[in-house]
């Protein structure tokens, strides 16, 4: 009900329409994603790693703030959310596979048993369903209409680009 209430805002409804979904199918995709991530190997997650929850120090080192949503779940939750939320769509399209390969390599170097490349790609492609729904319910007053619309728009584009809906049917 809360997602539907916020989708009454015209710009959010337009972005939902751009995904090719309606409120019912987006909600179904969200819950189907939860089934997939519940089956995946679990890790510790930040839960909300969007750009407004990061900081940079003068020496260039970076960190993550706002750990109130810490949870356990699939790696794809935080990685997909961070990449899609932070990168302009064209930049994401041009580099997402390279970034996922780099992430996979770092995990392997740390001794983590990693899924194969295509399994990781599929898990990543499912991830925009979470980000879209979370930014759809984000009140404009929390950041600004411009920020909410920009980040929600990134998730809408990724949802379409990556064929998320088809993967979650």
* Chunked mean pLDDT (size 10), the chain, 169 residues: 83 95 94 91 85 89 82 92 96 98 96 94 97 92 92 97 97
End-to-end CA distance of the chain: 21
What's the pLDDT score for residue 7? 85
Q: Which residue has the tokens 């170097």?
A: 109
What's the pLDDT score for residue 166? 97
What's the pLDDT score for residue 124? 97
User: Model-level pTM?
Assistant: 0.91
137 phi and psi angles, rounded to 5 deg: -95, 0
3-state secondary structure the chain: CHHHHHCCCHHHHHHHHHHCCCHHHHHHHHHHHHHHHHHCCCEEECCCCCHHHEEECCCCCEEECCCCCCEEECHHHHHHHHHHHHCCHHHHHHHHHHHHHHHHHHHHHCCCCCCCHHHHHHHHHHCHHHHHHHHHCCCHHHCCHHHHHHHHHHHHHHHHHCCHHHHCC
């Amino acid at each position: 009900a809360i997602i539907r209430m916020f989708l009454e805002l015209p710009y959010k409804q337009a972005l939902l329409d751009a995904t090719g979904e309606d409120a019912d199918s987006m909600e179904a995709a969200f819950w189907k994603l939860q089934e997939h991530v519940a089956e995946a190997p679990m890790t510790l997650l930040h839960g909300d790693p969007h750009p407004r929850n990061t900081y940079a120090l003068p020496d260039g080192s970076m960190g993550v703030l706002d750990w109130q949503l810490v949870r356990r779940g699939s790696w794809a939750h935080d990685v997909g959310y961070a990449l899609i939320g932070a990168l302009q769509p064209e930049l994401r399209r041009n580099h997402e596979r390279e970034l996922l390969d780099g992430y996979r390599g770092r995990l392997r170097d740390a001794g983590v048993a990693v899924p194969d490349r295509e399994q990781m790609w599929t898990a990543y492609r499912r991830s925009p369903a979470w980000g879209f729904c979370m930014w759809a319910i984000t009140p404009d007053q929390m950041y600004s209409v411009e920020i909410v619309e920009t980040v929600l728009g990134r998730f809408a584009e990724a949802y379409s680009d990556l064929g998320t809906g088809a993967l979650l049917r």
